Structure 1
């Protein structure tokens, strides 16, 4: 055996391969024909052939041994790879064991789970909290099951074909909720068409929940009046913890939309008897199950047949204890009747029913003084003058949504004819926030804005929606009123008009970011602009590109700019007002 440098590619001792890939030393058997192997075209003798065949047999044996070694090495390599994989998995398990997520205390994990809950009301589903926590790991499942607050939200459809499912869901939630206050939503949405076939007497889930009525904290009901009087009577006088109440009472007979509106327009015949009285029996029997609720602070009803019950005081509620009240699609005179009995309100949201012969006139309602009201959202016809009947000494936030109506050419500014002027003067209040929405294709948007800003000069927050948004910069520049609203710190504009004067708005923004005195007096630096526009979807003129460049400069100077498209930036609460 001799030490010989061999080429792995061609078998030669000297070739370019080794100069490129380095030398490898092997112990090779010295063959008798070794010196003849690389001589071209040499005819071997019989002796040389026999010698070569002998060497070939030895070499084949060596190759077989080498192949066996390689096979063993491959097996060993696979063993090492498998071993590494097992070691890696084990190491990763240790990393997970000491990870920050693993070390979160169960108490904090419980709070995270609660924050992950969907907005109430929500139905139980495997792909959302809280049930989805059961599918992560045993610890999460255990923590979820022990977090009673996760199970205190109960939403049921109350359909006959889901009785067993509703009962099962209610049972599971109650068993896991412990002594937590309960938030309960029963029934469908405000305009769902419930029928008597879907609401058999004595729904087992209602009976089960009623047994725990002392723990009811927030309740949302979309049911028929007969169901309230029949299946919920047992809770009357036991609602000691009820804080929030939302009620939508559906009619059993399903009048269509026109019939529903005609309910308001037809005078009631006190002497009528027979079938008509039987048909409207649901509206004549007072629902008193919520009459005694000492902790009740929030009440909402809207966009359904609940208006009839509310307006006629068919639904009895402890109005004097309320601090928040929301009424949608209710006659103006009925809203004022309720406000008269609700002296402790801090927040009020109201939407006048404005179809047919339902005038919203100050002469039809009493004067009302609400000492503690801080915020008022009111949707009313453009011609209404009912604001003059309100005295609100503490009001700070106003939101008016104006409905179109048949209005002759007005001789007075909107703030005067609506009564806003009178409201502000007799209230002696300082309004800091105004949100204003005019009807589509408003004929006098400039007049509405000018009159409101003249009455409310101390505004620090202004929001103008729909047709009013693009008008604002025109008013400011046309009247040379960059000094207007000296306390303005936040401006929100909803401007979907491709003719919006962006260049004028840029001038106003730059002026309100300048330190010093403008026009008639000092001003507060504008801190925040919120803009809802579709400008990305068209090629606006009037200086859009320059406006965008101006916004970049203003942001670099510290002004906060928030832009979105359509309703992306609106809260779900605001979308009720923006969408038609």
Structure 2
């Protein structure tokens, strides 16, 4: 039940009070009417205040970002964050995010416009934009980049040459460039200016067959690329008369290149400091049987063991071999190289990333070239393969100078340390477990006075 309303004039309702006169009744009525009006005004004021409160809540919610911590960051810190988010991998399309950042708000746009590093990556889209639109865009971006170094990637397409001419106006500031067609490469080599800052050249032929070159790429670039250290080449043919500063390279990645070009035009001119990776080498019609002496010290082959045919590399210390296909024709190349009569090289580090044909690879260890190996990295998929490896390595006459053994197995195969200690007891093993990232096998080595350092990679 609702409690009775208390009258503001209890004395008037008392049974003991005297009868009210007309004047008193009028006064009481006026007081009651005044109280009602005051209550109405108060209710109206409360409704107005509640509405205003709701408006203020909406305003606070809409503008709560003003209090965000990022608005209190100095422009220098904000600029560094933008650069880290947008300018990671130079060949990642995410680098176009500079245009997105500049459209967020007035402050971000001001910071982005003053950050030249944010605009140095030029990724030209394959389609969706006309040349008449892209030319002004590239011109504006070149103005924003000021004097920063440029990273450029051009896809295939006839319209790319006009855009390439715009970028060539700043050729002196090119640091990284990726080309996709023979015509682009010809324009690059024939340009009258040098590339004093270009350190990474990537050629990825993506459209035409390179069974034979159609343009005369006979330029001498040995003096035009004083800073070139990395070359990525993905095309079946290499220009016969294109001269590059091979002695400067620290990394040379060749994908799909003809074996003849590798043996005659590339490997002999690389220095001992260069790291060479050859992937899917193409067999030539008349493969070379003997290569001129090379000074290379590190060679990685992925489905390209045919490159070992006639290889003369007396300074070769590290050989990394991946053969995903069954050992067939390439098996003869590996066997001949490892059993070369005069032992043209003295390997110290052999890495075999191969899941099958275990018996074949074990046979290569009983060879002249393998006698000086001090570090051996192997992989396996099944416990039976590991058992075969351990049985072979238990013999001290195979790879007698072995000091480090790295084992990488299948994630589903559990391996205990006792297995290695018992199987390799003759080599006095010390077993430890290390973690690795992706396919890299790098880990801290231990310099043991004696015995074998066994590393299980997980």
Quick one: structure 1 residues 349 and 381, their matched pair in 2 at CA, closer, same or farther if it must change by over 3 Å? closer
Q: Of 245, 250, 263, which aligns to 1:336?
A: 263
2:153 match: secondary structure:
strand
Q: Return 5+ residue gaps in structure 1 as ranges.
A: 1-8, 14-25, 36-54, 189-193, 264-279, 533-558, 563-580
> Does the alignment pair 1:526 with 2:442?
no
1:160 and 1:136 mapped to 2: Cα distance?
Answer: 23
The residue aligned with 2:130 is 162
> Does the alignment pair 1:184 with 2:152?
yes
Conserved? CA contact 2:229–2:250, under 8 Å: yes
1:507 and 1:531 mapped to 2: Cα distance?
Answer: 21
> Does the alignment pair 1:317 with 2:238?
no
Q: Of 404, 414, 431, which aligns to 1:487?
A: 404
The residue aligned with 2:415 is 506
Describe the superposition over 1:457-476 as per-residue Cα deviations: whole angstroms up to 9, x where unpaired.
5337x363xx7566543335
Structure 1 residue 522: Cα displacement: 3.9
Q: Of 86, 89, 94, which aligns to 1:119?
A: 89
2:247 and 2:437 mapped to 1: Cα distance?
Answer: 39
Q: Of 382, 387, 390, which aligns to 1:474?
A: 387
TM-score (structure 1 length as normaliser): 0.59
The residue aligned with 2:175 is 217
2:254 match: secondary structure:
strand
Quick one: structure 1 residues 452 and 31, their matched pair in 2 at CA, closer, same or farther if it must change by over 3 Å? farther
Structure 1 residue 86: Cα displacement: 6.9
Quick one: structure 1 residues 57 and 491, their matched pair in 2 at CA, closer, same or farther if it must change by over 3 Å? farther
The residue aligned with 1:428 is 346
Structure 1 residue 340: Cα displacement: 0.9
Quick one: structure 1 residues 421 and 531, their matched pair in 2 at CA, closer, same or farther if it must change by over 3 Å? farther
Conserved? CA contact 1:446–1:471, under 8 Å: no
Structure 1 residue 333: Cα displacement: 2.3
Give me the CA root mean square deviation.
4.9
1:376 and 1:187 mapped to 2: Cα distance?
Answer: 30
Conserved? CA contact 1:329–1:351, under 8 Å: yes
Quick one: structure 1 residues 348 and 178, their matched pair in 2 at CA, closer, same or farther if it must change by over 3 Å? same
Conserved? CA contact 2:122–2:152, under 8 Å: yes
Structure 1 residue 175: Cα displacement: 0.7
The residue aligned with 1:402 is 323
Structure 1 residue 222: Cα displacement: 1.0
2:40 and 2:285 mapped to 1: Cα distance?
Answer: 101
Quick one: structure 1 residues 386 and 233, their matched pair in 2 at CA, closer, same or farther if it must change by over 3 Å? closer
Q: Of 314, 318, 323, which aligns to 1:391?
A: 314
Quick one: structure 1 residues 10 and 365, their matched pair in 2 at CA, closer, same or farther if it must change by over 3 Å? same
Describe the superposition over 1:348-407 as per-residue Cα deviations: whole angstroms up to 9, x where unpaired.
11135346x6476xx612242315x3x3211245677527532235x34x3212264683
2:33 and 2:115 mapped to 1: Cα distance?
Answer: 74
The residue aligned with 2:443 is none
Structure 1 residue 137: Cα displacement: 3.1
Q: Return 5+ residue gaps in structure 2 as ranges.
A: 16-27, 439-454
Describe the superposition over 1:191-228 as per-residue Cα deviations: whole angstroms up to 9, x where unpaired.
xxx5xxx359xx43222222222222222111234x54
2:97 match: secondary structure:
coil
Instruction: Mark the structure with the bigger radius of gyration.
Output: 1
TM-score (structure 2 length as normaliser): 0.72
Quick one: structure 1 residues 76 and 166, their matched pair in 2 at CA, closer, same or farther if it must change by over 3 Å? closer
Q: Of 329, 336, 348, which aligns to 2:276?
A: 348
Structure 1 residue 527: Cα displacement: 3.3
Structure 1 residue 112: Cα displacement: 2.6
The residue aligned with 1:277 is none
Describe the superposition over 1:288-321 as per-residue Cα deviations: whole angstroms up to 9, x where unpaired.
163532322222211x3xx32x1x5143323333
Structure 1 residue 180: Cα displacement: 1.7
Conserved? CA contact 1:390–1:423, under 8 Å: no
Structural mapping, 1:246-395, within 5 Å: 246-249=202-205, 254=208, 263=211, 282-283=213-214, 285-288=216-219, 290-292=221-223, 293-302=225-234, 304=235, 307-308=236-237, 310=238, 313-337=240-264, 338-354=266-282, 358=285, 364-370=289-295, 373=297, 375-380=298-303, 385-386=308-309, 389-393=312-316, 395=317
Quick one: structure 1 residues 385 and 132, their matched pair in 2 at CA, closer, same or farther if it must change by over 3 Å? closer
Conserved? CA contact 1:382–1:405, under 8 Å: no
1:187 match: secondary structure:
coil
Structural mapping, 1:18-167, within 5 Å: 28-30=8-10, 65-79=38-52, 93=66, 95-96=67-68, 99=69, 101-116=70-85, 117-123=87-93, 129-157=97-125, 162-167=130-135
Structure 1 residue 328: Cα displacement: 1.2
1:350 match: secondary structure:
strand
